[in-house]
Amino acid sequence: MRSSANPAAAVDMWREQVAASWGGDLRRTTLDAVAPLIESALRGAASVSEALTALGHRAGYDGHPLVEVADWVALLAPLAPRRLRPAIRAHRSAYLLAEAWAAGRLAQPPADGQERMDHLELRLGELYDHCEALGLAVDREVALAVVAIHGLPGCAETRHQVLTEATTAAHRIFTAGESVVALDSGRVLVLAERRPNLPVRTRRLAQAVADAVDWDGVQVRHWIEPLPSDRIHLADHLRLLVA
C-alpha cells in the first residue's frame, strides 16, 4: 500500500479504512478525537509515542477491544512516512498502546456489573504483570474478599440500594484504594492484599451488610477467595465466581 505525502490526507484515508473494516459511528468518534495528534506525529511535530498513547487511552475509554485497536495501528503504518514505520511497528509502541488502553478502560465510569468486572479484570491483569516482573506469586500477594447476599428481593430498586450500601461499607472498611465490585447477583468482591487482618475485615464487611439488610429470609455469607497461580485460568475462575 502506498503512503500519502500529505499527512492530513493519510489520516483521512486511515479513518476511512478503519470505518470500512470495523464500521460504527463510535469508531469514527474515537478516531476524530485523536486525528489531530496522529497528523502531528506524521508531520514530525509530535512523537509516535504521544500519538499511540493518546489513541490507546481514548480507544480504551470508549470501550474498543485492544486487539481491534492494534489492527487500527497496523492499517496506519503503511500510510505513514517511511521513516516513521519502524517506530509505529516497534514492540515498545505496542506496549505503550496496550498500557494506555488499559488506563483508558480503568478511567471509564462503570455502567453496570459487567463493566465493573471488566475493571476488576484489568486491575488483576496489572497485578499479575507486576508480580511476574518482581518474581512474586500473585496468589500469595492478593485475594478476593467475598460477601454473598442470598434471598434479596427481586425489586431492582431495592437491590440497587442494598448493593450501594454494601459498596459504601466496603470502602469504609478497605481504605487503601482496593477495587470493589458489587454484582446484581448479590455478591460483593474486594480485591485486597493478603495481610493477616484480611479475614477480620471481610467478616466486618459481612456484618455491616447483614446489619443493613436485616430482613427475614436474607442470609449473608463471606469467605476469602484465592486467585489462580497461573494467569491463564483467571477468566474461568472469575466466571465461576460471579455465576
Q: In this predicted model, which residue has the larger pLDDT, 22 or 133?
A: 22
pTM above 0.75, yes or no: no
Could you tell me the domains of the chain? 7-107 (no CATH), 113-242 (3.30.70.270)
Q: Partners of 143 in the beta sheet?
A: 192
Is the alpha carbon torsion for 100, 103, 107, 108 positive or negative? positive
**pLDDT level of residue 108 (50, 70, 90 thresholds):** low
61 within 8 A of 107, measured Cβ to Cβ:
yes
Identity of the amino acid at 179: S
Chain segment 188-209, per-residue pLDDT in tens: 999 988 989 999 999 999 999 9
Residues 40-58: b if buried by 16+ CB within 10 A, e if exposed:
bbbeeebebbebbbbbbbb
**pLDDT level of residue 126 (50, 70, 90 thresholds):** confident
Q: Quick one: which H or E segment has residue 148? A: strand 142-150
Interatomic CA distance for residues 28 and 21, integer angstroms: 12
Q: In this predicted model, which residue has the larger pLDDT, 111 or 127?
A: 127
DSSP, collapsed to helix, strand or coil, labels residue 45 as coil
